[in-house]
Amino acid sequence: MTRSAKPLLRHDSLSAKSQPHRKRDPAQPNLPFDPMPDRVEPCLALLKTALPVGSDWAYEIKWDGYRLAVHIEPKSVRIITRGGHDWTHRFPAIAAAAKELGVGTAILDGEAVVLNSEGWADFGALQRSLGGRGGKRASEDSILFAFDLLYFDGHDLTKTELSVRRHLLTDLLDGAIGAIRLSDEVEGDGGEVLEKARSLGLEGIIAKHRDRPYRSGRTGDWVKIKCTQSESFMIVGYEQSAVARGGIGSLLLAARRGHNWVYVGAVGTGFKAQHASYLKRTLDALKTRNPVVPLKGKNYVFAQPTLIAEIEFRSWTDDGNLRHASYKGLREIQDNAAVYKLD
């Protein structure tokens, strides 16, 4: 690693840390234990165009990876995806780091990422480390940036406010640099934080209300503001090319509108020859003569709507197509990928 994995920390104008807190008192009275849940439905960030401001809001980096919950018990560790699948075997380094935390029971909420040589989260590298879509490979390179603590020392923390949960999480992970690390709060004016994130090429910022409990779903307690737009779209075919490496000139993309598929354009950048070869083999196996979108082209090969791609793009054109689109990788069904829905 040649640069810091916490990009906003490299600038003096912004500092990232949790709020001042006190260590837990080991002599505190014994409290009744809460049963450890098998799974907690995750709290999700609501997409907004404006950043909420004020002392009630805390800001964090929006990590570009897989949402995970790490369940730690005295004799076991389970790693659960956002969709509820057990992927402990896919993230052995994170599981090993969880066992070394020295805590009896805990549930960590965070994002698994793979960092590139400059310290940025690289979604494509994460996908490759797992063997691609449907791959069975274990990712040795992944690390977890933990941003919430839902259960700790036998106590359910979901009904406590975020500020308390963050204090306990900081006690647990402060200074950790292994496969589990603290996702730091970023101090500063909200607008300044967002502009700095844009200048550094980050995906976006998450704003969280300090006084709210942990509530599942998109409640508005957490808000995300993206610097670059990135969404999941269905691949409904590809355009053949005799000159492009891998034989794919571009991927044909669709979004949902109600129960129908709507064509939103093509993407021809972002994938290397090996990715294109894999995509062509997989899409050829899904080939259909009945396209789900009304497109005509002699070089088009249509596929059943099965593969979900993460696409980064700058904006929408007036006719409803993606502008300056770039392929980032395939989403896993186990990651509970949601195809973009048009209004």
Token couple for 111: 């994002």
| Averaged pLDDT for residues 292-298 | 87
Would you put residue 121 in left (φ > 0), alpha (ψ -120 to 50) or beta?
beta
On whether the pTM is more than 0.75, the answer is no
At the top level of CATH, which class does the domain 7-18+32-226 belong to?
alpha beta
List the domain boundaries for the chain.
7-18+32-226, 229-335
pLDDT at residue 40, as a whole number: 96
Cα separation, 247 vs 255, whole angstroms: 24
CA end-to-end span of the chain: 42
- Give the three-class secondary structure for 190: helix
- Tell me if 7-18+32-226 shares its fold with 229-335: no
Region 47-68 average pLDDT: 89
Q: What is the mean pLDDT of the chain?
A: 85
* 102-119 per-position pLDDT tens digit: 899 999 999 999 998 878
Q: Is the pLDDT of residue 32 over 80?
A: no
pLDDT of residue 170: 95
**Residue entry with tokens 């274990």:** 138
pLDDT tens string 188-208:
777 788 888 888 778 789 999
Q: What is the mean predicted confidence (pLDDT) over 118-133?
A: 81
Q: Is the pLDDT of residue 238 over 60?
A: yes
Is the pLDDT score of 43 beyond 50?
Answer: yes
Checking if the pLDDT of 245 tops 80, the result is no
Return the bridge partners of 322, or none. Answer: 316
pLDDT tier at 17 (50, 70, 90 boundaries)?
Answer: very low
Tell me the per-residue pLDDT of 59-79, one tens digit each, with 9 for 90 and over: 998 998 999 999 999 999 999
154/73 Cα distance (integer angstroms): 10
- Residue 220 zone, left/alpha/beta (φ > 0; ψ -120 to 50; rest): left
Asked if residue 121 has pLDDT above 90, the reply is: no
Pairing state between β 15-16 and 322-323: unpaired
Which amino acids are annotated catalytic?
Answer: 62
Q: Domain 229-335 is of which CATH architecture?
A: Beta Barrel (2.40)
Only one residue has tokens 């770039």, namely 326
pLDDT tens across 138-174, in order?
A: 999 999 999 999 999 999 999 999 999 999 999 999 8
Residue-level pLDDT at 288 = 94
Which band of pLDDT confidence, cut at 50, 70 and 90, is reported for residue 21? very low
